[in-house]
Chain A
Amino acid sequence: MTYLRRLPKFEYVGARSVREVSDLLARRPDETRLLAGGTDLILQMRRREVAPRYLVGLKGVSELAFVRQQEDGGMTMGALTTFQDIETSPLIREKYGILSQTASQIGGVEIRGVATIGGNLMGAQPCSDFPAPLITLGAKVKLVGKDGERLVALEDFFPEYGRTVAAPDEILTEILLPATSKLSGGCYLKFHDRHAMDMTITGAAAFVTLNDDRQTCSELKIALSSSAPVPKRVKKAGAFLQGKKLTEDALEETAALACQEAEPRSSWRARREFRLELIRGLTKRAVRQAWEEVMATANGGRK
């Protein structure tokens, strides 16, 4: 069996610029795959789930590795930003703590040092951890193709299981995040067996913005991982808390609505019924922790 664990053959080009990647991709879009961190693609190739004829290495495309504050108070990061960058970037930790929290829950040091945000999104796996928190932040992704570039809301990026709306010649180059209010906070929680190095069985992200009264919810966004064929925003659950205070009953109803909107499947990792229980529990905890973060921030003036 040993020979099977070698990688299938391919031709390799190490790209240096987005333009070069774009040209290479446009030439043979169906036979080419882009290699970022490789923590997913190399495994898929080893298992012979994919065997691209051409591999374009992105590690040398330095223009895609950046984290930048925007003039409007928002932020943008390049597709090659690693999980470790997201975990440790002072800017992200301060303004988008939910993302650093998400990064720190994935894999181990070895994986986080190479795995990239662009790869996590383009992989389009329902168990990927970053789509849910990014959706609650209102993230958009920039796609660059042979006919120019466009922005797509991440919420609309995954039309069905395992797929994105990116055309075969398009590259995801950056992720854009809107500015957040001082009265906002987020939390991403997930359940997995080993508490490290494991696939997410179910995850819940919540991002809440309070009204100026600091007591009622102005807006709540909730999105789930591994709870549907695609990363899923549960809109009714989020809308329910709008204008309300955080009470045990309101939280219970929010979680119940999230369960109604979710479409988890049964797999060898977990049965549908178990996932629904997890969604209920994780949603409640994530909303509560997000809310508590706002209160701590508002009172402590951290932002």
Chain B
Amino acid sequence: MKQLLPISLNVNGDSYDIAIPPWRTLLEVLRENLGLTGTKKSCLEGQCGACTVLLDGKPVNSCLLLAVEAQGKEITTIEGLARDGVLHPLQKAFVEHGAIQCGFCSPGMALAAKALLDRNPNPSEDEVRHAIVGHLCRCTGYFQIIEAIRDAAAEMARKDVQA
């Protein structure tokens, strides 16, 4: 059985050339090979959403995806959201609304929210709820997260108008 496969991954705009066994998931490679531990490992069944990353802008559970199959895609993790030390409006809104308590679900929540806002800049409360249906949060009760996402959407719209 061939043990190591050379693969190339594009994560947050950086290119990584590594050799991994084919049975490694994208989650394992991000955390263990690339040291990007912002992506969280939790249920490993696609139920909790903690391991969510964006693949060409679309949210996926990185625990269910083989790393070899993420080649040729633009992968965005939570580490890729802030720019030059400035938080993304979503991250800022999460902090301001108390949408983060233990923080374990936050990376996945923030990325699912980013995918939603990229597609739909002005979502209704119902649309926000549907976008995070695959994410469990055991602290906040979700309301702060939903408020934060809608607030970030409004903030991003204001910035667009100014720019």
Contacts and interface: CB of A to CB of B under 8 A. Distances in A.
Contact of B59 (A8, A12, A113): A113
Contact of A38 (B23, B24, B66, B133): B66
A109 B127 CA distance: 11
Contacts, number: 85
Contact of A110 (B2, B28, B49): B49
B95 interface: no
B15 to A, nearest CB: 19
**B25, B60, B130, B135: which has the most chain A beta carbons within 10 Å?**
B60
A244 interface: no
B66 A107 contact: no
Interface in B1-50: 1-2, 5, 21-25, 28, 44-47, 49
B64 interface: yes
Contact of B134 (A12, A35, A59, A110): A110
B53 to A, nearest CB: 10
B28 A10 contact: no
Contacts of A6: 23, 28
A11 B22 contact: yes
A55 B22 CA distance: 9
A57 interface: yes
A242 interface: no
Contacts of A110: 46, 49, 52, 59-61, 112, 134
A196 B5 CA distance: 37
| Interface residues on chain B, size class | 20 to 34
Interface in B124-152: 130-135
A14 interface: yes
A7 B58 contact: no
Chain A interface size, under 10 / 10 to 19 / 20 to 34 / 35 or more: 20 to 34
Contact of A108 (B44, B63, B134): B134
B46 A43 contact: yes
B19 to A, nearest CB: 14
Given A39-B64, A59-B69, A9 B134 contact: no
A38 B61 CA distance: 11
A5 interface: yes
Contacts of A43: 45-46, 64
Shortest 7 CB-CB contacts between residues of A and residues of B? A108-B134, A12-B22, A196-B133, A7-B23, A108-B133, A110-B134, A110-B61
23 contacts: A7-B23, A11-B1, A12-B23, A14-B68, A35-B66, A35-B69, A38-B65, A43-B64, A46-B44, A46-B45, A57-B66, A57-B68, A107-B134, A108-B49, A109-B131, A110-B49, A113-B60, A114-B61, A114-B64, A196-B133, A196-B134, A197-B133, A197-B134
Given A42-B63, A46-B44, A109-B59, 17 more contacts: A6-B28, A7-B23, A9-B21, A9-B23, A12-B68, A14-B69, A42-B65, A43-B45, A108-B132, A109-B130, A109-B133, A109-B134, A110-B52, A113-B58, A113-B59, A196-B134, A197-B47
Interface of B: 1-2, 5, 21-25, 28, 44-47, 49, 52, 58-61, 63-66, 68-69, 112, 115-116, 130-135
